[in-house]
Amino acid sequence: MSEDQKISKRKLRTSYLSTIVSISLVLFMLGLLGMILLNTKKLSDYVKENIEITVFLKDNLKDPEIEQMKKSLDASPGVKSTEYITKELAAKRLKDDLGEDFVSFLGYNPLLPSIDIRLHAVYANPDSLRKIEKTLTQDRMVKEVYYQKSLVNLVNDNLKSIGLVIIIFSGLLALIAVALINNTIRLSLYSKRFLIKSMQLVGATQSFIRRPFVKKGISHGLYGALIANVLLSGVMYLAQQQLPELFDIQDIKLIGTLFLAVAITGILISWVSTSFAVRKYLRLKMDDLYY
């Protein structure tokens, strides 16, 4: 092999490597965006599902009645979980919070038994909570229903605003990412424009000319996606070390879907961009290839 051939082969490898690295970095950026979107939804649900409704019960109820009410609440479609708080447990918790035994001071336990309810995220909105409150207050065993109305409104309003900003930002970032991958592939094919035109001039069909370039483009997209997914795995591992509570609420299936989406995106964009770039050079006249 001559020195010129070695240099040409080295340049070709460098071109392929730079293309794969560029694609992988852009896909990594898209993957991070996907992680943010997944975590935003999960965090939103996590916050909503931690809003508690406290149902204070009347003092003269018997345990079987309370147990029956708890079972009825657990069977309700909007309820995620319930916890029965006895008078004694409520007194113990308040004592721990206050740091003093108020029961001994008063001579009796003034607290009422209660059931703490946590709802599914879909039901943790002001309208649904008002309906639930109205239904519960009509029960003969219920003395009072309490939840922080101002907190519920604040959480829902802020989550809507944050969600809208993230969606707009995500859309813009996705468009930029697609444009970057497209331009990277076009630049990598620019050096092969004379080869493409030469093949056409000797009688090769357009599909025959496109095929090897498209295959190479798809392989670049796949390699780039694999590198991006490895980088994303590293970021997730580091994030899990720093914020374990965040990944305790994460869905492994969604993460797998994210990795698959990154791979499909890399392959699809590379395939389409390569096809259009080759078609562009096939349609150009010979003189236009020099500009």
Tens-digit pLDDT profile for residues 132-188:
889 889 988 989 998 888 877 777 777 778 777 877 877 787 777 777 777 777 777
Three-state DSSP class for residue 62:
coil
What's the pTM?
Answer: 0.60
Average pLDDT, rounded, for the chain: 80
Place of tokens 């374990």: 244
Domain boundaries defined on the chain: 3-46+155-290, 53-147
pLDDT of residue 206: 74
Alpha helices in the chain (DSSP H): 3-49, 63-74, 87-98, 102-106, 126-137, 149-190, 193-201, 206-242, 244-247, 252-283
Output the six-digit token pair for 235: 């970021």
What is the percentage of the chain residues whose pLDDT exceeds 90? Answer: 7
Residue 248 has pLDDT above 60, yes or no: no
Residue 222 has pLDDT above 80, yes or no: yes
pLDDT of residue 217: 82
Residue 101 has pLDDT above 80, yes or no: no
Pick the CATH number of 53-147 from 3.30.70.3040, 3.30.390.30, 3.40.980.10, 3.40.50.1010: 3.30.70.3040
| Measured CA distances, 271 to 265, 275, 276 (Å) | 10, 6, 9
Mean pLDDT of 91-116: 80
Place of tokens 């035109």: 197
Question: For 58, which DSSP code?
Answer: P
Query: What is the spatial distance between Cα 130 and Cα 117, in angstroms, rounded to a whole number?
Result: 14
Query: Burial of 57 by CB count in 10 Å (0-12 exposed, 13-18 middle, 19+ buried)?
Result: buried
Nearest to 209 by CA among 196, 193, 194, 192: 196
Q: Tell me the pLDDT tens digit for each residue of 49-86.
A: 888 899 999 888 888 888 999 999 998 888 999 999 88
Mean pLDDT of 31-54: 81
> Which tops the pLDDT comparison, 41 or 286?
41
Residue 105 has pLDDT above 80, yes or no: no
Place of tokens 């345990």: 63
First-last CA distance in the chain: 32
pLDDT of residue 116: 92
pLDDT of residue 8: 47
Q: Which residues pair with 85 in a beta bridge?
A: 114
> Which tops the pLDDT comparison, 284 or 166?
166
Mean pLDDT of 223-243: 85
Residue 3 has pLDDT above 70, yes or no: no
Nearest to 24 by CA among 211, 276, 270: 270
